[in-house]
Structure 1
Amino acid sequence: MEHIKSIKTGHLTCDCAYAATPRICYVLTPILLDKKRLEQWCNIYETTIVSVHGIDWDNDLTPWVAPGVEANDADFEGKAFDFLSFLRTTVLPKVETSPHGQPPTERTLVGISLSGLFAVWAWMNGDDFTHIGSISGSFWYDGFTEWLELYVGKSCKQGHAYFSLGDKEGIRGNPRYQTVVTDTDCVIRTLRKSGISAQFEMTGGTHFAPIYPRMEKAFNYLLKSMQL
C-alpha cells in the first residue's frame, strides 16, 4: 500500500500512516494489522497511526523478571527499561523525522495484552506519551498492581488513560489470568485516587478480540472525544 510507509529499526517494523496534523498514536501490536485499516484510522482521527510490530513480546514488554505462565514456560525476562529506552532514543525520532513525519504536539500509546501493561508502566516512567490506552492489559503480572500503588504518587499525569476488557476474559483458563478483572479494577482505582483520568469500558469479546472494534473504541475515546 503506497500510502503506508514501513520503517525498520532494530528488530522492529513501524507501519506508518501519516496525517497532516502533529498528533501521533503508536500501537504496540501482537499481530500484523491490516494496512488499509491504518490508513482509514489516520483519516478518521486526523492522527498519524503507527503500528509497531516485531516486538519480543514476553521480554521487551515486561518490567521485571517473573515466572512464565505455564509450568514449562521460560521466565519473563523483564526488559521493559531497555525497550522503552530504544523507543525513546531510536524509534520515535526515526518515525517522527522521516520525510513524512513532523515533531508531534501530542503522543498517544495504545497497548494490547502485555503491551497494555507496558503502556501503563511506560506512562509512569516518563513524559514520552500524553495519553495511553490498554486493551485487555495483562495486569495479572506478578507485583504490578502493588508497584503501581507505590509508584503512582511520583507521577503527575495530565493526560487520559483508557482501559477495556472483553466480558469473557478471566472466566476460565490458567489461574494466573483469572484475576485480570479485579487487577484491572485495582489499576483504575489507583490512578483515579491520584487524580488521574481513567476511563473503563467492558466490551463483548474474549482476550483483545475482536481486535479492530476494540481498538476503535480506544481511538474514539483517546483520539476523538478528547479533542471535542
Structure 2
Amino acid sequence: MSHFFPRTMLAGWIIRPFRPGIPVGKWKMVSIGSIRRNRWLFLMVTYEYGNPHAVITLVQPVNDHDIAGMDAEVAEIQRLSDKDFCLLAVKVDSWNHDLSPWPSPAVFGKDDFGDGAGELLTAILKLCQDKSKIYYLGGYSLAALFALWAAYQTNKFAGIAAASPSIWFPGFVDYMKSNAIQCPNVYLSLGDKEEKTKNAVMASVGDCIRDGCAWLKEQGLNCTLAWNTGGHFKEPEIRIARAFAWLLSSAALKADKNSHG
C-alpha cells in the first residue's frame, strides 16, 4: 500500500514506516493521519467498527494488543447495550509518549513518559467534527488516563470511559482537582488486585482512583467507579466494553449533543 503526502507536509520531516497492526474481523481503515514528533512524522491509522452511520461514535486509542481484542470488545458492547454505535480505534505508535500529558520518569521498564497527549488529542479531534454525532472517548490503562486528561481540554466528548486508568501517574489527581473538567459523564474501573503491587507508585492506584472519583462526584458529575476481579491485565477488552456500555446506557440519555460540538 502506498501513501502520498503533499510536498509541504514532507519538507524537513522524516517519515517513520508505520506498523498498522492489521486487525481481523469486521473493520475497515477509515483514515491515515499524522503526528509530528521531533523531526519524525508518525502515521496514525484509524480503524472503524460497527455502524458508520450511527449517531453515537466511540473513540479509543489502541495498540497492537488492543487491536487483537477489538472484535471481542465490540461484541461485548453490543451484548450489553442496544444502542447503535460506531467505534473508531486509533492506532497509537508510541504508547508512553503519545498518551502522556507531561513528562515523567519511567515507573516500570526503561521508557520514560513523554508529553505527546496534546498532539494526539489534536489529531483525534479532527476525527470528531460531525456536529450531528455524539462522541465518547475511552481507553484502557494509559489510554484511559489520556481520556480523562482530554476531558479537561475539550467539551467535545459527552462521556469518558476510563477502564483501569493509570491514574497513579505522578501529579494527575492534583491536576484533576486544580482544573475544571468539561465532560458530564465519567466511568472509572479498576481490578481489585491492581493496587496490590510492590511498585510504590503503581500501588497508589487504588487510593488515587477513589480520591478522583469522589472529587468528580463532588463537582456534580455523573461518575461511577466499578471494581473488576483480578489484576491489571485480566480481560481488558471486556473491561473497556463495560465502560462504553455504561456510557451508552447511563450517559447517552443525559448528553446534550448541542453542547459537545
TM-score above 0.5, yes or no: yes
Structure 2: distance between partners of 1:38 and 1:207? 16
In the alignment, what sits opposite 2:121? 84
Equivalent residue in structure 1 for 2:110, among 73, 86, 96: 73
Change (3 A) 1:50 1:181: same
Q: Answer whether contact 2:136 2:158 (CA < 8 A) is retained.
A: yes
Counterpart amino acid of residue 108 in structure 1: Y
- Correspondent of 1:189 among 200, 214, 217: 214
1:116 is matched with 144
8 A Cα contact 1:168 1:206, kept in partner = yes
Q: Following the alignment from structure 2 to structure 1, what is the Cα–Cα distance between the partners of residues 118 and 252?
A: 31
TM-score, normalising length: structure 2: 0.74
Deviation for aligned residue 1:134: 0.5
Cα distance change on mapping 1:208 and 1:187 into 2, 3 Å: farther
Q: How many residues align?
A: 215
User: How far apart are 1:193 and its partner, in Å?
Assistant: 1.4
2:4 alignment counterpart: none
Matched letter for residue 230 of structure 2: G
Give me the whole-angstrom Cα distance separating, in 2, the residues matched to 1:156 and 1:227.
16
Q: How far does the alpha carbon of each residue in 1:74-105 deviate from its partner, in whole angstroms, 9 at most, with x for none?
A: 4311121121112223x445xxxxxxxx6542
- Correspondence 1:146-185 to 2 at 5 A: 146-152=174-180, 155-157=181-183, 159-185=184-210
2:55 is the counterpart of 1:25:
no
Q: 1:136 aligned to 2:164? A: yes
Deviation at 1:135, TM superposition (A): 0.7
Q: Which amino acid aligns with 1:84?
A: L
Alignment-derived partner of residue 258 in structure 2: none
Distance in 2, Cα, partners of 1:148 & 1:171: 24
Is residue 2:28 matched to residue 1:5? Answer: yes
From the two aligned structures, give the one with the greater helix fraction.
1
Aligned match for 2:72, one of 37, 46, 49: 37
**Cα distance in 1, alignment partners of residues 25 and 106 from structure 2:** 40
Unaligned stretches of 5+ in structure 1? 94-101
In structure 1, distance between residues paired with 2:100 and 2:46: 20
Return closer, same or farther for 1:124/1:110 CA change in 2, 3 Å cut-off. same
Q: CA deviation digits over 1:47-86, x for unaligned, max 9? A: 101222233110111111111114x724311121121112
Identical residues among aligned pairs (%): 23
Residues of 2 paired with 1:45 and 1:55: CA distance? Answer: 31
Alpha carbons of structure 1 residues 175 and 86: separation in structure 2 relative to 1, 3 Å: same
Q: Give yes or no for contact 1:23–1:104 (8 Å, CA) kept in 2.
A: no
Question: 1:181-227 deviations in whole A, cap 9, x for unaligned?
Answer: 00111111121111111111001121152123212321221113435
Distance 1:76 1:226, change over 3 A: closer
Q: Confirm or deny: 8 A CA contact 1:136 1:208 kept in the other structure.
A: no
Letter in 2 for 1:187: G
Q: Deviations over 1:17-50 (max 9, x none)?
A: 2423211001222422445436634685311012
Return 5+ residue gaps in structure 2 as ranges.
1-23, 35-42, 254-261
Counterpart in 2 of 1:98? none
